């Protein structure tokens, strides 16, 4: 599949820290976040004008699902736009908290774990052809997903019986299955949920729930881009080597604890490869693939960055302290400890770890590094700002976003989901949008004209009443 739809669902951690006896339940803080978005839709489930969805997920987390995107870079733009949208809502919520006369600080984190062992996810979604055997695709993809954490991990400080350890991935410790249908209890590498939000006979949605939430634009780009290339290779039957891991669930945890990325893993065939070696094999296949098959410039760029990252991990990982999240964060913590002559047992290390993921531009440590020019960027602020209110122009999200904007401007009763638009006082007018690549349909255009005509009649009647 050369044209593909991409999406990411990010669950955010939220904490209210009181500065007195009076506190605020997290449930109420989340309701304040949503209060600014009150529409005719469900209170805690809102589609936005940029085509994205914002809702409260299981476990009382705010979750942002990007609109349908047509490329990895576009997905990165809308993922970052979600942070900025949530930051605006956080400002509003803090004002409402002050009105309640509750002293304290509201914090929202783009990470995957809290201090008591809970985990919340970052779920990647890739549109795939229904004709591709899903379990064959999953088995081919799992060794890649297990080992890619060496450049996609967000980094995590863990307190164990043996002391403090710095690990590559936050999510790896919470994976218990290869493939399963649940995202909360027996979390798996790949989820079998068959909800394509598109023509079910043509498409399936690959739901990857093993990845970390990333602050680094560079990390996020290669995470999505490399996975897209490997998917395309699987679909074209290009992968001719078997890297099936003997125990992928154990391997994903073992890799996370090995910051050298070189500890051998046992394959089903008895051979042993390090995570870097497995990733090199995939990357070299990808380099041959893009020479023989039509591939977008973005995916070619991701393969080039992939090669660079693997070379650095193999020879000098510290070279990636501007690009890869877990190495950016490790360097930041080590610099702090060196300045103060402290050790990893310093309790403030855990706060540094968490504060790296604060989405507030003026509070988050990642954004402090960004302002100092200490991290590599792929995007510019203007395109992220634009994506907060404008949907992608080349996917179905364009129709949804434009419809929402017009309906709200004209106070039209409506409800919708990823594939359906309903409007009218009884919500009895319905348009089905099953093609995620479609940017316009006559039915939606007719709905828009209906709204415009209704608004015109209201305006004329208003003028008539005033004149009389």
Q: For residue range 95-142, list pLDDT tens digits in order.
A: 999 999 999 999 999 999 987 777 888 999 999 999 999 999 999 999
Tokens at 247, concatenated: 């125990």
In three-state secondary structure terms, 53 is strand
Taking the C-alpha atoms of residue 140 and residue 413, their distance in angstroms, rounded to an integer, is: 46
Q: What is the pLDDT of residue 184?
A: 61
Task: Report CA torsion sign: 36, 37, 41, 44.
Answer: negative
Q: What is the pLDDT of residue 443?
A: 75
Q: What is the pLDDT of residue 183?
A: 60
Are the beta carbons of 441 and 420 closer than 8 angstroms? no
Q: Mention every residue, 6+ apart, whose C-beta is less than 8 A from residue 268.
A: 242, 244, 245, 246
User: Which residues lie across from 433 on neighbouring strands?
Assistant: none
Q: What is the pLDDT of residue 401?
A: 94
**Residue 133 DSSP label:** -
Cα angle, residue 282 at apex, residues 281 and 283 outer, rounded to 5°: 90
Q: Using alpha carbons, select from 171, 160, 304, 172 the residue that is nearest to residue 225.
A: 304
Q: Hey, what CATH topology would domain 6-386 get?
A: Creatine Kinase; Chain A, domain 2 (3.30.590)
Q: What is the pLDDT of residues 327-365, one digit of tens each?
A: 999 999 999 999 999 999 999 999 999 999 999 999 999
Q: What is the pLDDT of residue 317?
A: 98
Tokens at 317, concatenated: 């990982």
Q: What stretches in the chain show pLDDT beneath 70?
A: 38-44, 59, 181-186, 454-468
Domain borders along the chain are 6-386, 396-467
First to last CA, the chain: 63
In three-state secondary structure terms, 269 is coil
Are the beta carbons of 316 and 369 closer than 8 angstroms? no
Taking the C-alpha atoms of residue 157 and residue 282, their distance in angstroms, rounded to an integer, is: 29
Which alpha helices (H) appear in 293-432, and where do they start and end?
297-315, 325-340, 348-355, 365-371, 381-387, 397-409
In three-state secondary structure terms, 97 is helix
Residues marked active site are found at 57
Q: Mention every residue, 6+ apart, whose C-beta is less than 8 A from residue 252.
A: 146, 149, 169, 172, 175, 189, 210
Q: What is the pLDDT of residue 193?
A: 82
Q: Using alpha carbons, select from 387, 402, 384 the residue that is nearest to residue 439.
A: 402
């Amino acid at each position: 599949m050369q044209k593909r739809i991409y999406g990411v669902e990010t669950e955010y951690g939220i904490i209210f820290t009181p500065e007195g006896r009076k506190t605020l339940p997290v449930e109420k803080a989340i309701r304040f976040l949503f209060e600014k978005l009150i529409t005719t839709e469900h209170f805690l489930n809102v589609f936005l004008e940029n085509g994205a969805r914002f809702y409260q997920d299981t476990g009382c987390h705010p979750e942002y699902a990007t609109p349908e995107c047509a490329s990895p870079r576009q997905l990165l733009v809308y993922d970052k736009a979600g942070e900025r949208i949530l930051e605006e809502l956080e400002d509003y919520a803090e004002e409402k908290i002050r009105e309640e006369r509750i002293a304290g600080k509201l914090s929202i984190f783009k990470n995957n774990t809290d201090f008591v062992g809970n985990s919340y996810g970052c779920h990647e979604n890739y549109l795939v052809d229904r004709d591709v055997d899903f379990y064959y695709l999953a088995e081919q993809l799992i060794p890649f997903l297990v080992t890619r954490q060496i450049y996609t991990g967000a980094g995590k400080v863990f307190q164990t019986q043996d002391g403090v350890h710095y690990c590559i991935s936050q999510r790896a410790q919470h994976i218990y299955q290869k493939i399963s249908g649940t995202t909360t209890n027996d979390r798996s590498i790949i989820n079998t949920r068959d909800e394509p939000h598109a023509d079910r006979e043509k498409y399936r949605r690959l739901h990857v729930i093993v990845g970390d939430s990333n602050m680094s634009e560079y990390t996020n780009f290669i995470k999505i881009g490399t996975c897209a290339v490997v998917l395309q290779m699987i679909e074209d039957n290009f992968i001719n080597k078997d890297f099936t891991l003997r125990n992928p669930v154990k391997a994903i945890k073992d890799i996370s604890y090995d910051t050298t990325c070189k500890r051998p893993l046992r394959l089903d065939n008895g051979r042993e490869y390090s995570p870097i070696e497995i990733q090199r094999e995939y990357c070299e296949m990808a380099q041959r693939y893009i020479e023989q098959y039509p591939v977008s410039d973005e995916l070619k760029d991701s393969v080039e960055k992939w090669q660079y990252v693997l070379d650095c991990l193999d020879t000098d990982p510290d070279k990636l302290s501007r690009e890869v999240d877990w190495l950016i964060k490790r360097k930041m913590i080590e610099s702090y400890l060196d300045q103060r002559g402290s050790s990893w047992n310093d309790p403030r290390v855990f706060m540094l770890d968490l504060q790296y993921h604060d989405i507030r531009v003026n509070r988050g440590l990642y954004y402090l590094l960004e302002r100092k020019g200490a991290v590599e960027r792929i995007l510019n602020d203007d395109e992220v700002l634009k994506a907060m209110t404008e949907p992608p122009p080349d996917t179905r999200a364009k129709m949804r976003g434009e419809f929402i904007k017009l309906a709200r401007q004209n106070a039209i009763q409506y409800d919708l989901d990823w594939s359906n638009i309903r409007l009218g006082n009884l919500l009895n007018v319905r348009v089905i949008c099953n093609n995620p690549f479609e940017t316009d349909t006559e039915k939606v255009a007719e709905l828009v004209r209906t709204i415009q005509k209704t608004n015109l009649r209201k305006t004329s009647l208003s003028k008539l009443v005033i004149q009389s």
